[in-house]
Amino acid sequence: MSSLDPVPYAEAPRAIRAALEPLRGLRLRTVTRAAEMLTLGFGELEMVGKRQVAQYALNLQAPWRLDHLATGTVTGRSDVWEPLELPAPDGWHWDEGPNLRDHLLGQLFPLNEAKRRFENQSDDFIVREIEATAAGDLTIRFAGPYEFRVLPQSTRQEAWRLLRPGDFSPHFVFEAGRAGYEQ
């Protein structure tokens, strides 16, 4: 676990909403993954060193899902461990693909193969509203008919963190039932 300066449990929803408030009005710009961790990039793309990154990154290690309000779940965390086709081909491994999650995300966002990320240009994915609970649950509502939900389930592990790539200011982290800025 990291060294957090946690807020009191009863104050967590307000603190989480305040930390995530800069995302309101920003476009979900990029979707990437490192192993099973998903990273959502919000805002304009900027150069940080030699890499082009979004202004904000929300790293997710907790269960999550992307819902379409009219048709239901589009994809979720567990889809990364599912082969695109059943039965799985001999020797199939989720990280070498193709896996169901990456395929379903590719239906919404074009894949930039050179940068190994999905890139969004749609106004449907501009952050409209953010809800949070003391347990670290997040609901990010977009301008279009989509919601992104995060549902932490661990009493020991980091669930999610918000950071500004290239900025060395403290990250806002939710882990082990505690929310706060990493020290």
Give the amino acid at 177.
G
Determine the pLDDT at residue 183. 66
Rounded distance between C-alpha atoms, residue 159 and residue 162, angstroms: 11
**pLDDT score of 177:** 86
> pTM for this structure?
0.94
pLDDT value, residue 178: 92
Structure tokens at 175: 């882990």
2 confidence band (pLDDT: 50, 70, 90): low
Supply the pLDDT for residue 138: 98
| Mean pLDDT of all residues in 39-51 | 94
Task: Give the dihedral sign, CA 14/16/21/26.
Answer: negative
Give the pLDDT band of residue 26 (cuts 50, 70, 90): very high
Enter the tokens of residue 46.
């900027």
Looking at residue 179, what is its pLDDT?
93
Closest CA to 93 of 107, 102, 81, 106: 81
